[in-house]
């Protein structure tokens, strides 16, 4: 199939060009210039006021919380996680539930021009094949490009957090619901059935969740899997101050940060997505730069959970690629990359003098080049270029956000909310047009999701009440960690 974008402006990191014609043939951009429409071409008229940009990349996401948006008050990550995904048997999803919740955010993303998502899917209590299938089928059906990993902890709570020694509560000592051997079998299933599916649009990745949540052996096995398949390894690192403090509180880290610990294991490399990197120090950033790893910045989530502000400028100065992510619908609470872009463009302005502040161009580079780098797809994603995959969003500049057109970079970062997006294309196929998905009955989806998740609300609330018991313990972990001097600060506090 061929699609011809006629008389469109085209985004380029150096500015916009056009109006020109952009021909998409199959999955890729075939030509950019003056193209005469052939009868078989599906023509999209740009009328010289539509801008073609690369599809947005959501480089970090957890789909299993898609149905929980807005349901928790803001609280520190360690307390939040008690309620986010209790490994409670009563909350085990049905395949239909997993399908619907995946679809909820996928539709939101596609409507707004997000064409790629890296889903670090925690499938609690355990990632069973029918649930893996349900997630992947949702991504297959809606048309988004998805790379999915199984974000499953392997160790007990006492291993993951400081200041829990001496606590007797069995819940803190219970092993994770599934051990390394079974998890690796689930990865076999994920890779054999879904890696490269839908003509390469669906892929597998691997996830350790975080270095403190797994054994070095499981970490190494996943890194080996990522090397074999050349796929990203997702690792939350130094998201919170508690995680910084952990290094001096647990013998296995011997005073080393989680980044340094990973590097010392030989497990920090160009395939690693270092997610968050808020409480990193200079040595951590040097190690990340040396390894060629990518940092995934999630500014809205970091604000919602009060995690702190990632040192954007210090990372940029070292040439570290930075990608952007939503994180998840329960701590964002939107699957909206425009909102993340705007926040990335603003939040660093309160961290110091203006040499710390990102330019609009740097934010867009993070969104597109950084996102492609995180996916290990720099060669064919994140750009509107002949030969690149046709993952595109078409924005109507005849809209409040772009009228008058003063500075397209500034307006993309600070003005656009997704409401100017009139068409989204993934892999050469039009998947959303005029705010509606082409392959999904969104009304039926919303009706079914509303009914199904309302019916589960009582179980969710009961599981959360069960978690209340442990809240004082976790609050104490956060309070004690906050009081430790770690030699750096990532909170913008008043003095
Ligand atoms: Zn995350």
> What does the pLDDT look like over 234-272, one tens digit per residue?
999 999 999 999 989 999 999 999 999 999 999 999 999
Q: Are residues 26 and 70 in the same domain?
A: no
452 Cα: distance to centroid of ligand 1 (angstroms): 25
Q: Are residues 270 and 394 in the same domain?
A: no
Residue 66 lies in a domain: yes
Percent of the chain scored above 70 by pLDDT?
Answer: 100
The whole-number average pLDDT for the span 150-154 is 95
The total number of residues written for the chain in this structure: 495
- 3-state class percentages of the chain: helix first, strand second, coil last, to nearest 5: 45, 20, 35
- CATH number of the domain enclosing 19: 2.30.40.10
326 Cα: distance to centroid of ligand 1 (angstroms): 8
276 Cα: distance to centroid of ligand 1 (angstroms): 8
Residue 470 lies in a domain: no
328 Cα: distance to centroid of ligand 1 (angstroms): 7
419 has a pLDDT exceeding 80: yes
The pLDDT value given to residue 67: 95
Percent of the chain scored above 90 by pLDDT?
Answer: 94
90 Cα: distance to centroid of ligand 1 (angstroms): 23
The pLDDT value given to residue 165: 87
Q: Are residues 95 and 30 in the same domain?
A: no
- Max Cα-Cα span within the chain: 75
- CATH number of the domain enclosing 150: 3.20.20.140
Assigned token pair, 98: 């997993």
Q: Are residues 78 and 30 in the same domain?
A: no
Q: 473, 379, 425, 441: which is closest to 82 by C-alpha?
A: 473
The pLDDT value given to residue 89: 83
296 Cα: distance to centroid of ligand 1 (angstroms): 10
Residue 232 lies in a domain: yes
287 Cα: distance to centroid of ligand 1 (angstroms): 21
Assigned token pair, 293: 């790893």
Cα dist from 36 to 20, 32, 151, whole Å: 11, 11, 48
Residue 364 lies in a domain: yes
- The residues, ordered by sequence, that sit 6+ positions from 291 with a Cβ below 8 Å of its Cβ are 263, 268, 269, 270, 272
61 Cα: distance to centroid of ligand 1 (angstroms): 6
The whole-number average pLDDT for the span 221-243 is 98
Q: Are residues 76 and 207 in the same domain?
A: yes
Per the CB < 8 A criterion, the answer to whether 335 and 108 are in contact is yes
The pLDDT value given to residue 376: 98
Strands 56-62 and 114-121: parallel
For 9, half-sphere exposure in the C-beta direction (CA atoms, 13 angstrom radius) is 14
Range in 86-100, 144-158, 356-370, 408-422 the model is least confident about:
86-100
Assigned token pair, 237: 């690192």
Per the CB < 8 A criterion, the answer to whether 335 and 66 are in contact is yes
Residue 88's pLDDT band, with cuts at 50, 70 and 90, is confident
Q: Are residues 29 and 97 in the same domain?
A: no
87 has a pLDDT exceeding 80: no
Phi, psi torsion values for 255, nearest 5 degrees: 80, 0
Q: 255, 254, 289, 253: which is closest to 272 by C-alpha?
A: 289
pLDDT tens per residue across span 447-471: 999 999 999 999 999 999 989 999 9
Q: How many domains does the chain contain in total?
A: 2
pLDDT tens per residue across span 66-83: 999 999 999 999 999 999
The whole-number average pLDDT for the span 403-430 is 98
The whole-number average pLDDT for the span 8-26 is 96
122 Cα: distance to centroid of ligand 1 (angstroms): 10
Residue 461 lies in a domain: no
Q: Are residues 399 and 346 in the same domain?
A: no
Residue 90's pLDDT band, with cuts at 50, 70 and 90, is confident
Q: Are residues 190 and 271 in the same domain?
A: yes
pLDDT tens per residue across span 311-351: 999 999 999 999 999 999 999 999 999 999 999 999 999 99
Residue 181 lies in a domain: yes
8 Cα: distance to centroid of ligand 1 (angstroms): 36
Q: 147, 110, 59, 50: which is closest to 430 by C-alpha?
A: 110
262 Cα: distance to centroid of ligand 1 (angstroms): 18
d(CA 130, CA 94): 9
Domain holding 22, by residue range, is: 2-53+387-435
The whole-number average pLDDT for the span 292-302 is 98
47 Cα: distance to centroid of ligand 1 (angstroms): 40
Q: Is 261 exposed, middle or buried (0-12, 13-18, 19+ CB in 10 A)?
A: buried
Q: Count CB-CB contacts under 10 A for residue 483.
A: 9
Q: Are residues 358 and 369 in the same domain?
A: yes
Q: Are residues 278 and 164 in the same domain?
A: yes
The pLDDT value given to residue 137: 98
Domain finish residue from 374, 401, 416: 374
The pLDDT value given to residue 45: 97
Residue 183 lies in a domain: yes
118 Cα: distance to centroid of ligand 1 (angstroms): 10
327 Cα: distance to centroid of ligand 1 (angstroms): 5
Q: Are residues 285 and 403 in the same domain?
A: no
120 Cα: distance to centroid of ligand 1 (angstroms): 7
Average of per-residue pLDDT values in the chain: 96
84 Cα: distance to centroid of ligand 1 (angstroms): 11
Q: Please identify every residue whose CB atom is under 5 Å from ligand 1, which is an ion.
A: 327
31 Cα: distance to centroid of ligand 1 (angstroms): 38
The pLDDT value given to residue 228: 98
Q: Are residues 134 and 237 in the same domain?
A: yes
Residue 380 lies in a domain: no
């Amino acid at each position: 199939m061929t699609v011809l974008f006629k008389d469109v402006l085209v985004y380029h990191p150096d500015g916009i060009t056009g109006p020109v014609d952009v021909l998409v043939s199959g999955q890729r951009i075939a030509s950019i210039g003056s193209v005469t429409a052939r009868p078989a071409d599906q023509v999209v008229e740009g009328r010289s006021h539509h801008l073609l940009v690369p599809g947005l990349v959501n480089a970090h996401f957890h789909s299993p919380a898609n149905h929980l948006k807005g349901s928790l008050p803001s609280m520190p990550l360690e307390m939040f996680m008690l309620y986010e995904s209790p490994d409670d048997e009563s909350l085990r999803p049905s395949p239909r539930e997993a399908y619907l919740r995946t679809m909820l955010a996928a539709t939101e993303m596609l409507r707004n021009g997000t064409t790629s998502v890296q889903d670090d899917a925690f499938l609690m209590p355990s990632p069973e094949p029918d649930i893996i299938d349900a997630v992947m089928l949702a991504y297959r059906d809606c048309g988004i490009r998805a790379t999915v990993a199984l974000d499953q902890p392997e160790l007990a709570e006492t291993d993951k957090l400081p200041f829990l020694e001496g606590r007797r509560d069995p819940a803190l000592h219970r092993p994770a619901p599934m051990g390394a051997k079974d998890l690796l079998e689930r990865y076999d299933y994920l890779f054999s059935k879904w890696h490269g599916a839908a003509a390469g649009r669906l892929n597998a990745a691997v996830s350790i969740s975080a270095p403190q949540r797994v054994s070095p052996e499981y970490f190494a096995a996943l890194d080996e899997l990522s090397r074999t398949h050349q796929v990203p390894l997702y690792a939350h690192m130094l998201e919170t101050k508690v995680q910084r403090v952990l290094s001096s509180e647990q013998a296995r880290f011997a005073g080393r940060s989680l980044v340094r610990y990973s590097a010392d294991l030989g497990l920090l490399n160009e395939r690693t997505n270092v997610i968050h990197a808020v409480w990193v120090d200079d040595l951590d950033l040097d190690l990340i730069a040396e390894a060629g790893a990518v940092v995934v910045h999630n500014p809205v989530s970091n604000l919602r959970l009060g995690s702190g502000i990632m040192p954007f400028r210090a990372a940029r100065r070292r040439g570290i690629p930075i990608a952007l992510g939503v994180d998840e619908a329960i701590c964002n609470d939107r699957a909206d990359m425009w909102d993340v872009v705007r926040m990335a463009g603003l939040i660093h302005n309160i961290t110091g003098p203006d040499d710390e502040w990102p330019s609009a161009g740097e934010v867009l580079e993070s969104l597109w080049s950084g996102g492609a780098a995180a996916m290990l797809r720099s060669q064919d994603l994140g750009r509107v270029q002949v030969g690149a995959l046709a993952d595109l969003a078409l924005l109507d500049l005849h809209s409040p956000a772009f009228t008058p057109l003063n500075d397209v970079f500034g307006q993309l970062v600070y003005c656009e909310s997704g409401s100017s997006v009139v068409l989204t294309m993934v892999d050469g196929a039009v998947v959303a047009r005029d705010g509606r998905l082409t392959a999904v009955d969104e009304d039926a989806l919303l009706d079914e999701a509303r009914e199904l998740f309302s019916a589960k609300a009582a179980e969710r609330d009961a599981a959360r009440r069960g978690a209340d018991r442990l809240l004082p313990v976790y609050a104490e972990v956060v309070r004690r960690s906050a009081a430790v001097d770690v030699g750096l600060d990532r909170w913008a506090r008043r003095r």
